[in-house]
Amino acid sequence: MKIVVLKFGGTSVGTTKKIKKVAEIIADYKKKNYKVIVISSAMSGVTNELVKKSVEISGNFSDSEHDVLVSSGEQMACSLIAGRLIHKGFKSRSWLSWQVPIITVGKHKISRINQININKIFKYLREGGIPVITGFQGVNNENRLTTIGRGGSDASAIMFAKFFKAERCIIYTDVEGIYTTDPNKLKNAKKIKVISYEEMLEMASLGAKVMQPVSIQDARLNRIDIEVKSSFTKKSGTLITKKSNIINNKIVTGITSTQNDSKVSLIGVKDKPGVAASIFKPLSKNLINVDMVVQNISPNGKETDLTFTIKTEDLNKTKKTIQENKNINYRKLLFEKNVSKISVIGVGMITTPGVTFKMFQTLANKKINIKVISTSEIKISVLIDKKNTRKAIVALHKEFKLGKLR
């Protein structure tokens, strides 16, 4: 059985006109003799409206009822898609997560798919049907609806591709694929034809918003190739696959940037074993995500300066958490807003010396000061003033010759 999983994001199903276009795309795959499994997000804006209603009802809205409420958005979209397919003469119906069922584990709002019962859907596919299945949700062992968190519909599609051994998993969105950098910031950004899981994971973690990191990780662990393409054009998209499938002479694949980071520095921290843990443990408990971390030891070995970055929306919570922490002593606490993290990413960096020098020299030539540095095998990130973000991206994009198609 030749199976394709098609996932449509919120912008792709944002209006009834767009849903009619989605039905055309599905019909094309059906005409190519694929057995088609459709996964849909809610129509764009619907989930946010539902969350807004929950806040108006209660400042402490139940997590379990939150999942029931927001999962209704996917139900509506799936019904409309199935209804349009029926109108076009196809056998189709919507499937809610509990009807499949899609079994999840973990807490409400952040569950993960553990198992998919394939029997009913397989039977429906054999009968020539097109199942249109709610993404972003499942049911737990208490038979309660759960949601899978950000990027949940992508994760749903990837897990369906795994359990049904699909030949293709295609994520339809409002962009034509993955670009060397944000095309909204740089007009000559180029679409990447093929990218590795590792590179895409770094790009997603560092600001590229096409897919969420957890979905990329699911695909990587299960070796599911993903195509990302636009539902609004017929142009080819980007294939996300394993490194061994890529023939590429590019050292750097892409450049990402962030817009809402802040820098936190603790000056003169009394240096002793466990001091870093005593700083970061309360932050973790308060769900504050810490990113770049740099530690400097004083010449006398008795003090250390510790710098890290957080999201700006967590700044007040971070300040309060540190100031209330009685387990650490420091001389000064500094905060800096309006900073941006610029990252260059590429598996070619593993075997190519001199990338770090090139990046730093390029920024120096543009008189851009680097505040913090962090690296991995396939990534170099620097923190700079936010006002220099575009200038840095333009210079690095040119330096690493990313303006040429690959």
Apex CA 199: angle with CA 193 and CA 203, to 5°?
95
Of the ranges 40-49, 147-156, 238-247, 266-275, which is most confident?
40-49
- Distance between CA atoms of 285 and 269, rounded to whole angstroms? 21
CA 174 – CA 9 distance, rounded (Å): 8
Q: How confident is the model at residue 351 (pLDDT cuts 50, 70, 90)?
A: confident
Q: Specify the pLDDT at position 312.
A: 94
Burial 124-144 (b: 16+ CB within 10 A, else e): bbeeebbbbbbbbbbbbeeeb
Nearest to 287 by CA among 311, 254, 255: 311
Q: Can you give the pLDDT at residue 210?
A: 80
Mean local confidence (pLDDT), 34-52: 96
For the chain, which domains are there? 3-174 (3.40.1160.10)
**pLDDT above 90: percentage of residues in the chain:** 76
What DSSP line would sit under 55-97, residue for residue? HHH-TT--HHHHHHHHTHHHHHHHHHHHHHHHHTT--EEEE-G
**Which residues, including other chains, have CB under 8 Å from residue 386's CB and lie 6 or more apart?**
259, 338, 339, 340
pLDDT band at 220 (very low <50, low <70, confident <90, very high): very high
pLDDT in tens, 373-399: 988 889 999 999 999 999 999 999 999
- The pLDDT value recorded for residue 135 is 95
- Rounded mean pLDDT, 239-262: 85
- Confidence grade of residue 37 (pLDDT, cut at 50, 70, 90): very high
Instruction: Determine the 3-state secondary structure of 144 from DSSP.
Output: coil
Site of tokens 């990313």: 402
For residues 260 and 236, give the distance between their C-alpha atoms in angstroms, rounded to a whole number: 32
Read off the DSSP letter of residue 349.
G
What is the mean pLDDT of the segment spanning 130-145? 97
Element holding 12 (H helix, E strand): none
Q: Are strands 379-385 and 332-345 parallel, antiparallel or unpaired?
A: antiparallel
Lowest mean pLDDT among 14-18, 185-189, 362-366: 185-189
Question: Where is 219: in which H helix or E strand?
Answer: helix 213-222
Distance CA 219, CA 155 (A): 8
pLDDT at 272: 81
Residues across the chain: 406
CA atoms within 13 A on the CB side of 376: 16
**Chain position carrying tokens 């309006």:** 338
Averaged confidence pLDDT in the chain: 92
pLDDT, position 307? 94
CA distances from 267 to 90, 113, 121, 276 (A): 67, 44, 59, 13
Segment 214-227 shows an average pLDDT of 91
Let me know how many helices (H) and strands (E) the chain has, helices first: 12, 19
| Residue 268 to residue 177: CA distance in whole angstroms | 46
Report residue 283 as tokens: 């932050």
Query: Dihedral through CA 217, CA 223, CA 224, CA 229, nearest 10?
Result: 70
- The proportion of the chain whose per-residue pLDDT surpasses 70, expressed as a percent, equals 97
Is the model's pLDDT at 405 over the cut of 60?
no
Let me know: does 339 contact 382? Beta carbons within 8 Å: no
For residue 234, is pLDDT > 80? yes
pLDDT reported for residue 87: 98
Hey, what are 335's tokens? 């905060």
CA-CA distance, 265 to 26, in Å (whole number)? 52
Residues 262/313, Cβ–Cβ less than 8 Å: no
Residue 207's pLDDT is 64
State the Cα–Cα distance between residues 285 and 303, nearest whole angstrom: 25
Q: Could you give the 3-state DSSP secondary structure of residue 258?
A: coil
- pLDDT tens string 66-120: 999 999 999 999 999 999 999 999 999 999 999 999 999 999 999 999 999 999 9
Query: Which of 97, 135, 100, 132 has its CA nearest to residue 22?
Result: 132
Q: Across residues 254-271, what is the average pLDDT?
A: 91
pLDDT for 406 equals 44
